[in-house]
Amino acid sequence: MLRRLAPAAALAALLPALPALPAAPAVPASPAHAAGHPVRHAPAPPAAPAPSAAAVPAVPDRPARAAVPGPGARAVPDRPGPAVAGRIETGTRWRPGADEVRDAQRWVFSAINAAAAWRSSTGEGVTVAVLDSGVDPGVAELRGKVRSGPDLTSTHTSPDNPGWGLHGTGMASLIAGRGTGEDSGVLGVAPDARVLSVRVLVDEEDPEYWSFRGSGASDLSLGDGIRYAVDNGADVINMSLGAYEVRRRDREAINYALSRGVVLVAATGNDGDTKTSREEGRSYWSFPAGYPGVIGVGAVDRNGRRGEFSNDNLSVSVAAPGVGIAMVLSGGRYARAEGTSPAAALVSGVAALIKSRHPRMRPELVARAITSTARPHPREGYDDEVGFGVVDAGAALATADRLAGYRSAVPPPQERFGKGYDAGDPVSPGADPPRMWAYGGGLAASLLVFGGAIAVLLRRSRRRLEDHE
């Protein structure tokens, strides 16, 4: 029987010392990887976009991935697109006790100042849509909290398959996990929030991964998933995924979500350590994090430094812990992950805390509360590695309280979303005012006088010449 999450005051007391992250003991690989290949969820180097568990469009300096289809698999065209933005370490399965898992989380809670936020909000009444590879509703940390939406991947893998929903379940646990007791199991940033799972991509470990990668469903799933989430009660949408291609379908879905007051959070990607990034000092942009209105999240380690893999460009709004992050996977397995995926999930949890306290707050004000309070601020106020700094949940919630009475300065017209706003034909400036007539008349009179004077002078000159002759 699950113990109910402790009240907010007790939650704050759960964070005393910050023990080091436990080392992962070496144990046999899981049956799904008997060949010895670790489970990896990191962007792979494909050749043209579409949601997938490790797909990212090809870029000049991204080496080819060693992963290949299993025995008997047929070759399929690679259609890169939104891919999970992180790597889950389960090749040697981590088997800590439930209390050890919570200990592994303490530095994360401290880094984002979660205890201060929990005094006033735990995410109650908020639904966070997790657009990912699926969420296992049976894991103890999420039991009774998950509503399963459609599978938009056009695949047929059973949720009982050990390769189904690994990444998505992990992200959901970081957002809304309530542990397995007062001091055990994975606790999310918004432990009283609910989860709406929309499956828009496939994990690499899924038997139908390669089939999905070659299908047209990957071109449509993200945009359709966003619209489904908006129409079915999502207050926050977490997208721990990314691709390098800009899609009008996705962009319009994001605009639709913003117009309905839904907060959007996305991972900025894990290509910060490529040759191009090192030589040029910047990374390729990843989408949807790069779209206007989306809170793009980079990753930092326990010392607050940018993870070497985390993308550095102007799509980074804020940063959050993304190295050695404990989570629970489908089937109840525990694992640690690194990437901007878990960082985005943590920020989605902070957004859920704000929306719980201020349900009608506009997405831009939620983003302002989060970005304006991030710490420590870069010396210049902003940089493209950590954005405005590491998210501070307590300060963000306090600032949201002050912003609660604000309204958007320029509310966008409804027509802006979708086909675009049409201002109609240019309007005539109207009749010329009397003053313009006066100015015009005065100028004409002056020209007549000037012309007359010239004519008189010319006549006099001619007479003088005639007299002289």
Write down all domains in the chain, each with its CATH number in brackets. 8-64+74-416 (3.40.50.200)
Q: Which residues are catalytic?
A: 132, 167, 341
Q: Residue 459: phi, psi to the nearest 5?
A: -60, -45
Distance, first Cα to last Cα, the chain: 129
What CA–CA distance (Å, rounded) separates 237 from 285?
A: 20
Give alpha helix (H) positions in 209-294. Answer: 209-213, 217-231, 248-259, 275-280
Per-residue pLDDT of the chain (469 residues; tens, 9 = 90+): 333 223 333 333 333 333 333 333 333 333 233 333 333 333 333 333 344 333 333 333 333 333 323 323 333 334 455 566 555 654 445 566 557 888 999 999 999 999 999 999 999 999 999 999 999 999 999 999 999 999 999 989 999 999 999 999 999 999 999 999 888 899 999 999 999 999 999 998 989 888 887 777 778 899 999 999 999 999 999 999 998 889 999 999 999 999 999 999 999 999 988 887 788 877 889 999 999 999 999 999 999 999 999 999 999 999 999 999 999 999 999 999 999 999 999 999 999 999 999 999 999 999 999 999 999 888 889 999 999 999 999 999 999 999 998 876 555 545 444 443 333 333 333 344 455 555 566 677 777 777 777 777 777 777 666 666 5
pTM: 0.72
The single-letter code of the amino acid at 232 is: N
422 has which bridge partners? none
Nearest of 358, 357, 261, 320 to residue 113 by alpha carbon: 320
Tokens of 87: 């790597």
The single-letter code of the amino acid at 145 is: K
The DSSP H or E segment spanning 464 is helix 434-468
What CA–CA distance (Å, rounded) separates 85 from 43?
A: 6
